[in-house]
Structure 1
Amino acid sequence: MTITITAFERSPDGGMGLARDTRVRWALEETGQPYEVRPVSFAAMKEPAHLAIHPFGQIPTYEDGDLVLFESGAIIFHIASHYPGLLPNDANARARAITWIFAALNTVEPAILELVTAKFLEGDKPWTKERLPLIADRIRERLRLLSARLGDANWLDGEFSAGDLTMASVLLRLRPSGLLNEFPRLADYVARSEARPAYKRAFADQLAFNTGAPPAR
């Protein structure tokens, strides 16, 4: 059976790659797995049929035969674990790559999402003006440490892995804020990630999905 993932019927970002289905598409492209995309409207996300596969009414989800998954990190880990291309063969290197998946989602992304929430969901609140600089400084501290760890390397630990895919996907969400440009090493790191053919295919397909254009493939 063909893998099926869900995505916003119309993404809030207009198809610019910030929604989490993009990182799942990218993982499938890196591993050469064919897949189909089922669009889900905001209303349908809260209906029983979708809640049966994602208990929190979000996207993406992943279906492959009897297997149903939700949470982009879990889906990426599953794809990387079952298909070659995103995890090293060496056991220790493999464990380190998996650690970077968790670091991206648990250490780096929460502060970035806090910024998004403050700007777009709480922008009219009286405390937002004072809160935004505090959030930005917390993000800068995470980026400073991440940039120091990356150094002059192309990737976080040896060859490109699922850890890099997840981290680059998280950092992409910072681009509209301008914070990423304050850290040239990380900006270059994201640019290298975007230059990968698999990312280009994933991005082109999700953009076409949102604009109604023919897919890239």
Structure 2
Amino acid sequence: MKNSKLTLTAFDWVPDFAQGHVRDLRVRWALEEAGFPYEVEVMAQGAQRAPAHLRRQPFGQIPTLEIDGLSLFESGAILWRIAEADDALLPADIAARSRVLSWVFGALNSLEPPIGMLATLDLFIEDKDAAARIRPEVVRAVQGKLKRLAEALGPDPHIAGSFSVADILLTTVLRDVPDDLLAGFPSLQAYVERHTARPAFSAALEGQMRPFAENAARYEKAS
């Protein structure tokens, strides 16, 4: 993949609450860790619903990654494909690799849905009274998942022995947990801080944020 032509899709701007959290960040991070050169196709808001993009991402979402003309969608699938091509993100040992794969799915299927539901209640539900009634149950669900993750992690710096694609996914998911909830799990808070201190994460975040700053004025005028 290092010699392939890689093109990532990303938004040119998103609202403040989403900046630094759009899922192309995790793909950028993996590519930066692997040292794979890539280009970014920056898309205006609304372009994700155009037929050209729907042909490569049927749900009209970001990101996609094109590898020598072959388009992949869903961030988990993209990250696994990157990890398969780089020893730094996926161990060769089959037992260790299986543990990484389990935590890739754990991040996406067990942790991300309740955390995403909490974000939906806090940011998108217009009926605030209804959201307030439901929120405590969702908080308890998130706390339960975080407790299990903290127990599985224990004192280890990484979830599967050495740094891997699973740590990228878990870290990006945990970054969406409200600060007051994550503070209740010091080992997970330290886990996020440890991994977001990596140079590749900083490069990925800077890459995502740059077009947001460059295009903010245009969207402000449009509103």
TM class, shorter-length: over 0.9
Corresponding residue number in structure 2 for 1:131? 134
How far does residue 125 in structure 1 lie from its aligned partner after superposition?
Answer: 4.7
Distance 2:179 2:154 in 1: 23
Corresponding residue number in structure 2 for 1:11? 14
How far does residue 12 in structure 1 lie from its aligned partner after superposition?
Answer: 2.8
Choose from 195, 199, 202 the match for 2:201.
Answer: 199
How far does residue 123 in structure 1 lie from its aligned partner after superposition?
Answer: 3.8
Q: Secondary structure at the match of 1:116?
A: helix
Q: Secondary structure at the match of 1:7?
A: strand
Distance 1:191 1:45 in 2: 32
How far does residue 177 in structure 1 lie from its aligned partner after superposition?
Answer: 4.7
Indicate conservation of the 8 Å contact 1:5/1:60, yes or no. Answer: yes
Corresponding residue number in structure 2 for 1:53? 56
Amino acid at match of 1:70: F
Distance 1:12 1:57 in 2: 18
Corresponding residue number in structure 1 for 2:151? 148
Corresponding residue number in structure 1 for 2:171? 168
Indicate conservation of the 8 Å contact 1:87/1:161, yes or no. Answer: yes
Amino acid at match of 1:163: A
RMSD: 1.5
- For each residue in 1:37-95, what CA deviation from the matched residue of structure 2 results, as whole angstroms up to 9, or x when unmatched? 11122311111011011000000000011310000000000000122310001111011
Choose from 175, 178, 187 the match for 2:180.
Answer: 178
Amino acid at match of 1:200: S
Matched, 1:41 2:39: no
Corresponding residue number in structure 2 for 1:99? 102
- For each residue in 1:83-121, what CA deviation from the matched residue of structure 2 results, as whole angstroms up to 9, or x when unmatched? 231000111101111111100000000000101111112
Amino acid at match of 1:210: F
Gaps (5+ residues) in structure 2?
A: 216-223
Corresponding residue number in structure 2 for 1:83? 86
Amino acid at match of 2:108: L
Distance 2:36 2:16 in 1: 26
Distance 1:2 1:66 in 2: 8
Choose from 107, 110, 114 the match for 1:111.
Answer: 114
Distance 2:18 2:37 in 1: 20
Length-normalised TM-score, structure 1: 0.93
Distance 2:94 2:129 in 1: 51
Distance 1:202 1:98 in 2: 23
Distance 2:185 2:129 in 1: 30
Q: Secondary structure at the match of 2:9?
A: strand
Q: Work out the number of aligned pairs and report it.
A: 212
- Percent identity between matched residues is 42
- For each residue in 1:21-51, what CA deviation from the matched residue of structure 2 results, as whole angstroms up to 9, or x when unmatched? 0000000001000111111223111110110
Indicate conservation of the 8 Å contact 1:15/1:211, yes or no. Answer: no
Distance 1:123 1:186 in 2: 31
How far does residue 11 in structure 1 lie from its aligned partner after superposition?
Answer: 2.3
Runs of 4+ in structure 1 over 3 Å off: 13-16
Distance 1:70 1:204 in 2: 22
Amino acid at match of 1:185: S
Length-normalised TM-score, structure 2: 0.90
Amino acid at match of 1:194: T
